[in-house]
């Protein structure tokens, strides 16, 4: 495992000028889709120490997090992985086309209501991906993958067809939502580390939770199904969701069918 420290600063003329002055502007690159510049250095290294000292001395406002990268051999040896589709259907709001059971939501923050109806999306927005995350991190797969899942007896989920919002759609492809039925127990912490922000709701404890380490569990590997959701929900705002944890069998099925997945991270056992 290789750990990288990712440091972010706002892309402003002042910050740019200050970086030029410090002579380190070449090390910073724009972070795609955001107005931040990022700099990546090996975590806990001399370079990381120097960088943080420079930023503090320069009075920069910065954000940082650690990112872990695993060797192919480490991925191949892992039986359970945390990963999901690389692409997500954009949309910062809840899809209004979906019915939710609001009686299940927290009365204070109205977060995480249960989905009761089918997911309705514009199939054209799924961009011909074999697997993609919906706006609320719903796992959506192509018909090809859904058929393979049934054939291989993938456990821990049900499949439900995603309805096309455009009735006269020219897209004749079908998509299926993988309704995850298997919820894991709480991650074992420590060693699992979390970061909590002030977006957390006092009433239900949901919101503002982020994962800061690999996931560790103190249950047997055979208690995992092929598809699992973490007990904890992560992220902030309304669209908080559990992480997707899958067997290597399901991971191999997805990649063999041409799904583009996030860099997988082995789940560890204590
Ligand atoms: Zn709440």
**pLDDT, tens only, 55-111:** 888 888 888 888 888 888 888 889 999 999 998 886 544 455 677 777 777 888 877
| 46 and 130 both lie in a single domain | no
Final residue before a domain boundary, out of 69, 84, 99:
69
Q: How far, in Å, is the centroid of ligand 1 from the Cα of 105?
A: 8
Q: How far, in Å, is the centroid of ligand 1 from the Cα of 108?
A: 5
Output the six-digit token pair for 266: 């082995």
Q: How far, in Å, is the centroid of ligand 1 from the Cα of 196?
A: 14
Q: How far, in Å, is the centroid of ligand 1 from the Cα of 233?
A: 12
Percent of the chain with pLDDT over 70: 93
Q: How far, in Å, is the centroid of ligand 1 from the Cα of 87?
A: 28
For residue 148, pLDDT over 60 is answered with yes
Q: Residue 23 sits in which domain range? A: 2-69
Is residue 236 within 8 Å of 200, Cβ to Cβ? no
- For the chain, how many structural domains are there in total? 2
Q: What is the pLDDT of residue 155?
A: 97
Q: How far, in Å, is the centroid of ligand 1 from the Cα of 176?
A: 30
Percent of the chain with pLDDT over 90: 39
Q: How far, in Å, is the centroid of ligand 1 from the Cα of 241?
A: 14
Q: How far, in Å, is the centroid of ligand 1 from the Cα of 136?
A: 17
| 135 and 196 both lie in a single domain | yes
Q: What is the pLDDT of residue 101?
A: 76
Q: Which of the four pLDDT bands, split at 50, 70 and 90, describes residue 36?
A: confident
Domain at 22, CATH number: 3.30.70
Query: CA–CA separation, 105 vs 240, rounded Å?
Result: 12
Q: Which of the four pLDDT bands, split at 50, 70 and 90, describes residue 251?
A: very high
pTM to 2 decimal places: 0.78
Top-ranked range on mean pLDDT: pick from 74-78, 127-131, 254-258: 254-258
- C-alpha distances (whole Å) from 208 to each of 102, 114, 169, 189, 234 are 20, 19, 38, 17, 7
The DSSP annotation for 29-80 comes to: EEPTTSSEEEEEEETTSHHHHHHHHHHHHTT--EEEEEEEE--HHHHHH-SE
| 118 and 233 both lie in a single domain | yes
Q: What is the pLDDT of residue 169?
A: 55
């Amino acid at each position: 495992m290789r750990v990288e420290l990712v440091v972010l600063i706002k892309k402003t003329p002042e910050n740019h000028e200050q970086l030029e002055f410090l002579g380190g502007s070449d090390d910073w690159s724009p972070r795609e889709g955001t107005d931040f510049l990022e700099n990546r250095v090996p975590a806990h290294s001399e370079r990381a120490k120097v960088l943080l000292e420079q930023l503090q001395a320069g009075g920069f406002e910065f954000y940082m997090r650690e990112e872990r990268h695993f060797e192919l051999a480490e991925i191949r040896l892992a039986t359970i992985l945390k990963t999901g589709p690389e692409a997500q259907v954009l949309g910062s709001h809840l899809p209004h086309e979906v019915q939710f059971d609001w009686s299940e939501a927290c009365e204070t923050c109205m977060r995480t209501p249960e989905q009761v109806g089918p997911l309705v999306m514009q199939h054209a927005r799924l961009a011909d991906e074999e697997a993609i995350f919906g706006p609320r991190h719903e796992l959506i797969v192509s018909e090809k993958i859904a058929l393979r899942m049934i054939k291989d007896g993938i456990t821990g989920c049900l499949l439900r067809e995603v309805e096309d919002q455009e009735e006269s759609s020219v897209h004749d492809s079908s998509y299926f939502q993988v309704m995850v039925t298997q919820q894991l127990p709480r991650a074992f912490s420590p060693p699992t580390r979390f970061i909590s922000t002030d977006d957390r709701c006092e009433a239900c404890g949901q919101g503002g939770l982020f994962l800061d380490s690999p996931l560790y569990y103190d249950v047997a590997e055979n208690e995992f199904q092929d598809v699992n959701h973490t007990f904890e929900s992560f992220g902030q705002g309304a669209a908080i969701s559990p992480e997707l944890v899958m067997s290597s069998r399901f991971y191999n099925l997805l990649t063999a069918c041409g799904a583009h997945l996030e860099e997988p991270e082995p789940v560890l056992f204590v």
